[in-house]
Chains A and B, each alone.
Chain A
């Protein structure tokens, strides 16, 4: 995880810790403006937009932390309800919405993790026994802390447009060669290579730009 450590150190030196990432997308309300709208008449529209922007990241990171789809769904539900209920506690001068949302997600995930740490699993003889959900060698705090990199990478992937996201999904997660991607998508091989290079550069930049101050996530 070299990139995480180095970027965390690099980012601590930067001045723009409250830079709203989403506001760089033109023509849309920033996350911070949507948070303000949660306190007004447009609450559903604002929460719906925030959900569209971040639910995949919350769910994906929830799956990483909790290792269970139904628990990750519970996490998404509780996180966005908490975003609404606690919107007044969000202070944009102290960090970006994304960082604040990560803190909320981490806190709720930890609650769910603790509540479900010991659950009964049926065994073949019909009896039951206590079992822990995850490997006990990693404590819940450690498991949740590891999720910060996951959160940042997921956020960076969400920032890619569809053509660039597609080549990353097919190349990295799908394991396809550049030629195979070209054949599958019908996009010329040269364009696939250009998009891959461009997507990697954007990911690298996003991971460095994001508000990654360790202090901000505590």
Chain B
């Protein structure tokens, strides 16, 4: 065999994909051809690199993209809502000194409507994107989430419910219903934790809540079934990913 005949077969040879007779021919040629030996060494390096490749069947689930885009939409709304609130606060401060109470009442309504509309829109997006709210099966556990003492003062109609649904994958899906839950501070978000003693598992993060009821679907791994306390904490972007004990907002225990 000449180099020109061996060359196209070298990659297949490196892969061990030639028939026995052809394999023997290539081996015979390689024994006396330094050029093809060099070529083979380079191909074998590709082989070694492929050992590090992820499995070709490693595809993320199809719904993941929609969930990510939904969270982006929700955070955008939340951010614009915060911005509106800040602008409104500034406007309110200015108006207080120069306008009558009648005008102030009109202004308050004008400020409040976009916030309520945004919160409602977030809830609608959540309902539209996260399938399964119309499920028929009953949850395996329903946990009442109540404000922690430091957060409870002065809050009315402020509650949460978490319903747990086992999934075929072994994960647990948590349907979280929050009512009149304050939006997180700027550059912050909420995180739901399953807690057992000093150990915690995160069920995911969210930011968009507000007046009225908001629903979210989150997932936790099977191990969370041994964690009987649920906490919602307020976390800060770009800080330590560990949970912040000082800013617990809601807490609940498995019945």
Q: Which residues of A contact B (CB under 8 A)?
A: 1-4, 6, 43-44, 47-48, 51-52, 55-61, 63-64, 68-74, 76-77, 80-81, 84-85, 111, 114-116, 118-122, 128, 130, 146, 149-150, 152-154, 157, 168-169, 171-173, 176-179, 181, 193-194, 196-197, 199-201, 203-204, 207
Report A-chain residues with C-beta under 8 Å of the C-beta of B202: 115
Within B52-67, the residues touching A (CB, 8 Å) are 52-56, 58-61, 64-65, 67
The verdict on B201 contacting chain A, using a C-beta distance below 8 Å, is: yes
**B interface residues (Cβ-Cβ under 8 A, vs A):** 7-12, 14-19, 42-43, 45-50, 52-56, 58-61, 64-65, 67-69, 71-73, 75-76, 169, 171, 196, 199-202, 204, 219, 221, 223, 225-227, 237, 241-242
Option from A51, A56, A70 in Cβ contact (under 8 Å) with B59: A56
| Smallest CB separation, A21 vs chain B (Å) | 17
Using Cβ atoms and an 8 Å threshold, which residues of chain A touch B45?
A: 2-3, 6, 204
| Docked pose: A6 CA to B12 CA in angstroms | 24
Give the CA-CA distance A111 to B226 in the complex, in Å.
22
Q: Are B14 and A200 in contact (CB under 8 A)?
A: yes
**Distance of A204 Cα from B226 Cα, bound (Å):** 48
| Chain A residues near B201 (CB-CB < 8 A) | 116, 119
Distance in angstroms from B77 CB to nearest chain A CB is 13
Chain B residue contacts of A74, Cβ below 8 A:
204
For A69, the chain B residues whose CB sits under 8 A away are 169
Q: Which 9 A-B pairs have the closest CB atoms?
A: A60-B54, A60-B58, A3-B45, A200-B11, A59-B60, A149-B52, A197-B11, A111-B241, A153-B53
Residues in B whose Cβ lies below 8 Å from that of A43: 72, 76
Q: Are A63 and B55 in contact (CB under 8 A)?
A: yes
Q: Which residues of A contact B53 (CB under 8 A)?
A: 60, 150, 153-154, 157
Docked CA distance A57–B8 (Å): 30
Q: Which residues of chain B are near A149, meaning CB under 8 Å?
A: 49, 52
- Residue in A52, A70, A150 whose CB lies within 8 Å of B221: A70
Contact A193/B69 with A60-B55, A120-B199 known, Cβ cut-off 8 Å = no
B64, B67, B225: residue with the most chain A Cβ atoms closer than 10 Å: B64
